Amino acid sequence: MKTLHTADYIVFLIYFIGISAYGYYIYNKKKSTSQGAKEFFLAEGALTWWAIGASLIASNISAEHFIGMSGSGYALGLAISTYEWMAAATLIIVAIFIIPVYLKNKIFTMPQFLATRYNDSVSTVMAVFWLLVYVFVNLTSIIYLGSLAISAISGISFEWCIVGLTIFSVIVTLGGMKVIGYTDVVQVIVLIIGGLITTYLALTLLSENFGFGKNIFKGLSILRQEAPDHFHMIFDKSSPHYKELPGLSVLIGGMLVNNLAYWGCNQYIVQRTLGADLKTARKGILFAAFLKLLIPVIAVLPGIAMYVLHSKGLFQQEMSDAAGAVKPDHAYPTLMNLLPAGLKGVAFAALTAAIVASLAGKANSISTIFSLDIYRKFIDKNASEKKLVRTGRWAVIISMLIAALVTPALKSLDQAYQFIQEYVGFISPGVLAIFLLGLYWKKTTATAAMAGALLTIPISTVLKFLPSWSNGAFPDYPFLDRMGITFLLTTFIMIVVSLAKPKPPGTHEIAVDTSMFRVSRGFVIGSIIICGILAALYTVFW
Q: What is the pLDDT of residue 2?
A: 64
- What values do phi and psi take at 153, rounded to 5? -105, -10
Q: What is the pLDDT of residue 224?
A: 87
User: 28 pLDDT band (50/70/90 cuts)?
Assistant: confident
Q: What is the pLDDT of residue 168?
A: 86
The answer on pLDDT for 235 being more than 70 is yes
pTM to 2 decimal places:
0.86
Q: What is the pLDDT of residue 46?
A: 66
Express the helix, strand and coil content of the chain in percent, nearest 5 each.
Answer: 75, 0, 25
β-strand partners of 367: none
- Percent of the chain residues past pLDDT 70, beyond the cut: 93
User: 100 pLDDT band (50/70/90 cuts)?
Assistant: very high
User: 30 pLDDT band (50/70/90 cuts)?
Assistant: low
Q: What is the pLDDT of residue 172?
A: 78
The answer on pLDDT for 253 being more than 60 is yes
The answer on pLDDT for 178 being more than 70 is yes
Query: Over the stretch 316-327, which tens digit does the pLDDT of each residue have?
Result: 777 776 666 777
> Which of 319-323, 477-481, 492-496 is the most confident on average?
492-496
Which CA distances in Å does 141 have to 62, 80, 147, 295, 421? 10, 19, 10, 20, 12
More confident residue, 195 or 509: 195
The neighbour count for residue 13, using CB atoms within 10 Å, is: 12
Which CA distances in Å does 6 have to 11, 16, 49, 57, 345? 9, 15, 38, 30, 9
The answer on pLDDT for 40 being more than 70 is no
Return d(Cα 302, Cα 203) in angstroms, integer: 8
Helices (H), 210-277: 216-226, 249-252, 254-264, 267-270
Q: What is the pLDDT of residue 401?
A: 94
Q: What count of Cα atoms within 13 Å lies in the side-chain half-sphere of residue 362? A: 29
Q: Strand, coil or helix: what is 382?
A: coil
Q: What is the pLDDT of residue 397?
A: 93
Stretch 12-32: mean pLDDT, rounded?
78
Residue 517 contacts residue 282 (beta carbons within 8 Å) = no
Cβ contacts of 509 within 8 Å, gap of 6 or more? 117, 442
The type of residue at 482 is R
Return d(Cα 160, Cα 166) in angstroms, integer: 10
Helix and strand tally (H, E) in the chain?
26, 0
Q: Strand, coil or helix: what is 320?
A: strand
Calculate the average pLDDT of the chain: 85
Q: Strand, coil or helix: what is 246?
A: strand
Q: What is the pLDDT of residue 287?
A: 94
Return the closest-CA partner of residue 364 out of 271, 428, 429, 286.
271
Do you know the residue count of the chain? 542
Return d(Cα 324, Cα 316) in angstroms, integer: 9
Residue 400 contacts residue 170 (beta carbons within 8 Å) = yes
SS3 annotation, 184-208? HHHHHHHHHHHHHHHHHHHHHHHHH
More confident residue, 423 or 427: 427
Q: What count of Cα atoms within 13 Å lies in the side-chain half-sphere of residue 267? A: 33
The neighbour count for residue 349, using CB atoms within 10 Å, is: 24
Buried b (16+ CB within 10 A) or exposed e, 137-166: bbbbbbbbbbbbbbbbbbebeeeebbebbb
Radius of gyration of the chain (CA): 23
Query: Over the stretch 328-386, which tens digit does the pLDDT of each residue have?
Result: 877 888 888 888 888 888 888 888 887 888 888 888 889 888 988 888 888 888 888 88
107: region left, alpha or beta (phi > 0 left; psi from -120 to 50 alpha):
beta
Q: Strand, coil or helix: what is 326?
A: strand
Buried b (16+ CB within 10 A) or exposed e, 374-393: bbbeeeeeebeeeebbebbb
User: 412 pLDDT band (50/70/90 cuts)?
Assistant: low
User: 33 pLDDT band (50/70/90 cuts)?
Assistant: very low
- CATH fold, domain 6-122+139-359, is Sodium/glucose cotransporter (1.20.1730)
Q: What is the pLDDT of residue 266?
A: 86
Which 8-state DSSP code applies to residue 235?
Answer: B
Query: Over the stretch 450-473, which tens digit does the pLDDT of each residue have?
Result: 999 999 989 988 988 888 888 878
Return d(Cα 542, Cα 254) in angstroms, integer: 18
Return d(Cα 467, Cα 481) in angstroms, integer: 14
Which CA distances in Å does 204 have to 133, 193, 208, 335, 423? 41, 16, 6, 12, 36
- DSSP secondary structure letters along 486-528: HHHHHHHHHHHHHHHSPPPTTSS-----GGGG---HHHHHHHH
> Which of 34-38, 55-59, 300-304 is the most confident on average?
300-304
Query: Over the stretch 107-164, which tens digit does the pLDDT of each residue have?
Result: 888 888 999 999 989 999 888 888 988 898 888 888 888 887 788 778 888 889 999 9
Q: What is the pLDDT of residue 420?
A: 67
Query: Over the stretch 279-301, which tens digit does the pLDDT of each residue have?
Result: 999 999 999 999 999 999 988 99
Q: What is the pLDDT of residue 31?
A: 56
